[in-house]
Structure 1
Amino acid sequence: MTQPTSQSSLRKQLTALSTGSTTAFRTLLLLVTGVCNGTVAVWLAITPPATGYEGSIYAAYPTTLWAVFLLGLSAAILLVLRSAVVGDRSWIYGLAFICSLYVLFHLLPLFRGWAMYGRGSADALAHLGTAKQILETGAIPAHDWYPSVHVLIAGLTAFGLPLQASSSVLSAIFTPLYIVSMYLLGRSILGGRKAGLAVLVWSVPLVFREYHHSLHPAIFSFLLLPVFAALLVGAYNSDRRRSHVAFLAVLGLTLLFFHPITTLYLIGMLLVSLVARVVYSRLTDHELQYSLEPVFAFGLAAGWVAWFFQFTQIQVFAGRVLSSNSDSGSGGETDGTEPVASSLLGRLQDVGGIEQLVTGFITNYGTQFVVSALAGVAVLGAIGWYLSTRELRGEDTWLTFQFGAGVGLTFVGIFFYIVASNPIRNARYMLLFATLLAGLLLYRSLTDRLSWSPGTGKAVQVVLVVLLLSTAGLSVMTSYNDNYHLTHAEDRGTDWYFDYRSDEAVGAAADVSYKMREYSVGGDFGTSKFREFGSESATLDKRFGYADHESVGTAVDGYETYIATKPYDTTVPKFLDPSVREKHTAYYEEDLQRLGTDRGADRIYANGGYTVWYVDPEE
């Protein structure tokens, strides 16, 4: 009896040692991520705001701060992973610290004292303009075909939130909401908390890149799709189906008024879900219910037609899409409806070499490539498992069909304009389900369901964790676009210009789209706007026409003209590659100095570097 007793005692000692080790590791991770969170918060609070134009929000802070941020984020991710392995509830603290860091990260433009993150042709300008119009009139504008986000912004502003701050504040809300909803969806589909946590950690990398920070109803609404999918799965698996259906109806109606493309994605997701469940039922002889998907898909489709077809904008947009995809060769370059392939080829022409190409790919699409590649591995593994065992898992079938539909949409969008010319925005359906599949792969590696040897299984776990931490860090350090800082001087100066200008005059400026007018004037879709130097509609060439004229008065070709200049115009080109710098330069410092001494130009407004000049044409 002595030997079994000694073996039992040894087993207890090893268990106690292992438990003590994991507890110490949990304490260490909690301490590290907690200290890092506090350090980042204090650092941001005590750092003085920007005093002028900032080209990069990353360069505004020292490398040490970013190292502390990434260390805290990595420790929080590892805390969630440890909880998934051990089975305790410390993942809640890890999730809280992840959300805390991301809230601070999304609020960086406010800490820097920016008017807002978004300038030029940023959609945020137009959306804030529509919200401003709602505040001024007390009614939803007749042209507002997806009012949910505008009403939300107007409501927040009415309760005291500055209008310009709503972009960053909503970003700080929707990204954590997306991470939590992905956990719920992963738990619903894959079954169990450990599976949900595996999906949660793979939702931390910002796969939608700059759209996590941008005021895009198309993206904000899309981040709510996991909530809908989780409720849909829950409705089939819960005894309280009526409450789930009620929540689904409310959320579906919200998404309908949030964005038309998201609603179409949702309808597609429901139809693909129905097909996947039918296929699974046929191959496994399982009795499944199919009532919810067709009901909601039909209801959303009917609502989509009834609501959006009353707006002329949908007809204009459809015409632009058809025109850009026709054989006429228009390509959509002038109205922003060119396919992804054309957009990428145009950008490749500016690449200076293979090193710049590789760096650009990693920076812009590295995170998305890793997540999609892991999803591909998960799909191939599921197919291989079925072919070798003839056993089909329901979650594999559903996710494979959804991911396959996303891949198909992405490839179609490469060669035909469907939603946008940006590859990431065009691939968001694929990226959503790629994230779920990456979580599925991690979950099965943690539960030894990959049928590999113990050594190989451990190696796979290490590789997945390294890829996870690397992509999370990469996404953080590349998600903010450079040169997106709208200064308060530009904000006030543009407001002054549209209040002061005469209707007959023409405005000329660099990188100021019609959306800036909509923002300043409150959703006014009038025709008066700043025209780009050197464009076909402009009255003034680049460099204020000094290449062919002695005075700006003769360069405007008889048109009464206002010129707006700002630090952005001469600062941004300095950071561009020399091979493309001249192409993107509106004027140089010496041209601006010459304009200041030109008798043909009168300085009528100046504030913080933002200057408006009036040019009375010389006959």
Structure 2
Amino acid sequence: MNRTASNLTFALGFFALAAGVVLARANPATSYESSIYTGTPTTVWLCFAVALGLSVVAAVAARGRSQTLGIVLGATTVTSIVSLPVLRNYRFSGMGDALTHLGWTGDIVDGLLSPHELIYPGVHSLGATLHLLGGIPVERALLLTIVVLFVPFLIFVPLTVREMTGSPAAVGVAAIVSWMVLPINNVATHMGIHSNSNALFLVPVVIFALVAYLRRRSTTERLPFGISPYSVLIYLSGIALLVVHPQQMINVVVLVGAIAGIQFLARWRFSDHPMVDQPTTYAHTIVLGTLFAVWTVSNERFRSAGVGLAEGVLTADVGASAEVDQRGASLTEIGGSIQELFVTMFLDAAIVGVVAALFVLVTWLGWTSLDREAASFVTYLAIALIPLGGIFLVYFVGTPTMAFRQVGFIYVLLTILGAIGIAHVIGGLSRVITRPGANAVASVGLAALLVLGLMTVYASPLIYNPSQHVTDEQFSGYESGLEHGADGYSHAAIGYDPFRYDHALHGLEGEETLSGATAATGEADPDELAAGNYTGAYHGLDYYLIVTEYDLTREIEVYQELHYSEQSLEGLGSDPAVDKVISNDEFEMYAVVSEDDDE
């Protein structure tokens, strides 16, 4: 393609991207959206599809300036997709930990909480900074924080692959695989205000610094006292990761420690090998491990998590297998299946993981074109997966949620290894057919995997998990309900404990916990509601029953009345013991007087 045609092509791509962003901004969400995918106008997705299609082809087939423009176009488009809650003017997104994080951020802004009092203050501090500097609401500042922390992932995955291999083909594929956002699994890692997930997107920065430190041994790049600038980057990025979430920091310590162990064995076994010539990571392992220990061991929440993990490991009926069985049974009841859900959520990740595994194998057999130093980097990451996988197994037995968080970290490494492996597959295919033919096949295949990846970046009914979009009406309803409720009345919701909204609206005033409300709250008993016994649905006490549009969508449309029926909720309006006290388009609250009070 000549320069003029290339310029016109990229002009079209960037115009399509800009048009998509403008159209998304011009069509804000006006009510609760169960799916940001269906809520966003189709024309927006068509514009993004054009931009991504051109960027995939350029990243695979082009080189030099054109490949760089293609990567920039694709990365910007994916960032725009991740930014849709901001572009479409969501009040907030996230109804679990995210609401508590919102409360902590508000406490920091109000001076009720110092950042260092939290074990992971990174997200909250950045959100508070954006709020104070930009003059924007705290909720919007946190939504922007998601985007700010996400961008390094798109930048440093291809940079790391370039540093490892020096191959433009691998760099282009790495960019595309990073756009799939494989570390997000929507089981325990999420695209939202979720510190553990947000920390995953900083991990490639540390890996890039590690690879650059190992590869670049020239004294011309040294700081005073012979310090490598990449050592400084390792420490600074490690500290940033630590304050965003320590769990991902300990994984980095394991990674760096594994590299140090491999280097030690290489020096004992070989006299002529790139690993022997590379600078060691012994000091980095000690420094990063010490930082982690000092920061976390004295923290009560960290100690409690450790005790909980140990109890889970020693308890036979706790584990991820039991949780999978339970969810599989629930899916069957509503017409779904684990197999169907796996294909939707994990097929792209499974393919990339298999390619990564096979690529490591053929690298060790010496069947790739990698030079010895590039192969050593592959070995470092591959062997580090062994202890990281061991941690996953411990979590799998003891704390299922933590196991899927560990999978998120593992997929940061598999994104890098899988991308290099796919690039080698394309190279091999080009020798069987032709280079243009191989590029065409690769572009179609990667585009299909990219669609799979992007369609599950956010939760939606497609994966039986409706969007946790928080509207103005929901905030307003909870604010009125929590502030003006009568003494002695608890607040109950269907399938969801509303204490998180209390955190979001009133803060936690320094409490370091993701459990335990500052108001009396809970969940209404589904069996009692189904029987029409509204007065006995909450421990026989006087209570307020809260029903939001999110609750109805989740329980009636997505879960197909698995726990709560539409008929049982319709009876609220005619029961003499029930009074509707707050109502808007997204929120209803009923005052329910117990049977004892009726008597």
TM-score, normalised with respect to structure 1: 0.83
Give matches, 1:294-313, under 5 Å.
294-313=282-301
The aligned residue for residue 516 of structure 1 is: 501
Instruction: Report the CA distance between 1:93 and its aligned residue.
Output: 2.2
The aligned residue for residue 126 of structure 1 is: 100
Is 255-264 or 286-295 further displaced after alignment?
A: 286-295
Is 414-423 or 213-222 further displaced after alignment?
A: 414-423
Is 402-411 or 563-572 further displaced after alignment?
A: 402-411
Instruction: Report the CA distance between 1:317 and its aligned residue.
Output: 0.8
Is 245-254 or 180-189 further displaced after alignment?
A: 245-254
Instruction: Report the CA distance between 1:618 and its aligned residue.
Output: 3.5
Give percent identity, aligned residues only.
20
CA contact (8 A) 1:171 1:212 kept: no
Counterparts of 1:545 and 1:193 in 2: how far apart (Å)?
Answer: 61
Unmatched tracts of structure 2, length 5 or more: 461-465
Give matches, 1:452-471, under 5 Å.
453-455=431-433, 461-471=439-449
Unmatched tracts of structure 1, length 5 or more: 1-20, 332-337, 535-540
Residues 609/42 of structure 1: CA separation in 2 closer, same or farther (3 Å cut): closer
The aligned residue for residue 45 of structure 1 is: 25
Is 405-414 or 229-238 further displaced after alignment?
A: 405-414
Give matches, 1:437-452, under 5 Å.
437-444=417-424, 448=427, 450=428
Match of 2:258 among 251, 260, 272: 272
Structure showing greater radius of gyration is: 1
Match of 2:147 among 169, 172, 180: 172
CA contact (8 A) 2:524 2:545 kept: no
Residues 244/505 of structure 1: CA separation in 2 closer, same or farther (3 Å cut): same
Alignment deviations for residues 436-471 of structure 1 (CA, whole Å, 9 cap, x no partner): 12222344456x5x5984538776554433321111
CA contact (8 A) 2:130 2:141 kept: yes
The aligned residue for residue 272 of structure 2 is: 285
CA contact (8 A) 2:103 2:505 kept: yes
Give the SS at the match of 1:44. Answer: helix
Counterparts of 1:462 and 1:403 in 2: how far apart (Å)?
Answer: 29
Match of 1:565 among 539, 544, 547: 547
Counterparts of 1:608 and 1:257 in 2: how far apart (Å)?
Answer: 39
The aligned residue for residue 85 of structure 2 is: 109
CA contact (8 A) 2:254 2:387 kept: no
The aligned residue for residue 463 of structure 2 is: none
CA contact (8 A) 1:30 1:79 kept: no
Counterpart of 1:38, as a letter, is A
The aligned residue for residue 373 of structure 1 is: 354
Instruction: Report the CA distance between 1:230 and its aligned residue.
Output: 1.6
Residues 376/509 of structure 1: CA separation in 2 closer, same or farther (3 Å cut): same
C-alpha RMSD over aligned residues: 3.1
Alignment deviations for residues 347-392 of structure 1 (CA, whole Å, 9 cap, x no partner): 2223449985443212110121121122122112212326x99x97
The aligned residue for residue 311 of structure 2 is: 323
Counterpart of 1:265, as a letter, is N
The aligned residue for residue 529 of structure 2 is: 544
Is 70-79 or 315-324 further displaced after alignment?
A: 70-79
Give matches, 1:521-532, under 5 Å.
521-523=506-508, 525=511, 526-527=516-517, 528-532=519-523
Counterparts of 2:494 and 2:592 in 1: how far apart (Å)?
Answer: 17
Instruction: Report the CA distance between 1:181 and its aligned residue.
Output: 0.9
Instruction: Report the CA distance between 1:491 and its aligned residue.
Output: 1.5
Residue 498 of structure 1 pairs with residue 486 of structure 2: no
TM-score, normalised with respect to structure 2: 0.85
Residues 142/283 of structure 1: CA separation in 2 closer, same or farther (3 Å cut): closer
Counterparts of 1:278 and 1:135 in 2: how far apart (Å)?
Answer: 48
Give matches, 1:34-433, under 5 Å.
34-47=14-27, 49-84=28-63, 88-119=64-95, 122-137=96-111, 139-140=113-114, 144-159=118-133, 160-191=135-166, 193-209=168-184, 210=186, 211=189, 213-236=191-214, 237=216, 238=218, 239-241=220-222, 242=227, 243-279=229-265, 282-283=269-270, 285-286=272-273, 288=276, 292-326=280-314, 328-331=315-318, 338-339=319-320, 341-352=321-332, 356-385=337-366, 393-406=372-385, 409-410=388-389, 413=392, 416-417=396-397, 420-421=400-401, 424-433=404-413
Residues 618/347 of structure 1: CA separation in 2 closer, same or farther (3 Å cut): closer
Counterpart of 1:508, as a letter, is A
Instruction: Report the CA distance between 1:503 and its aligned residue.
Output: 5.8
Counterparts of 1:83 and 1:458 in 2: how far apart (Å)?
Answer: 11
The aligned residue for residue 13 of structure 1 is: none
The aligned residue for residue 6 of structure 1 is: none
Counterparts of 2:477 and 2:240 in 1: how far apart (Å)?
Answer: 36
Residues 521/451 of structure 1: CA separation in 2 closer, same or farther (3 Å cut): closer
Alignment deviations for residues 544-598 of structure 1 (CA, whole Å, 9 cap, x no partner): 3644x4xx3465554221211222222333433xxx633232x42x434432232
Residue 618 of structure 1 pairs with residue 595 of structure 2: yes
Instruction: Report the CA distance between 1:29 and its aligned residue.
Output: 3.4
The aligned residue for residue 16 of structure 1 is: none
Q: Number of residues paired by the alignment?
A: 567
Residues 201/345 of structure 1: CA separation in 2 closer, same or farther (3 Å cut): same
Counterparts of 2:205 and 2:116 in 1: how far apart (Å)?
Answer: 30
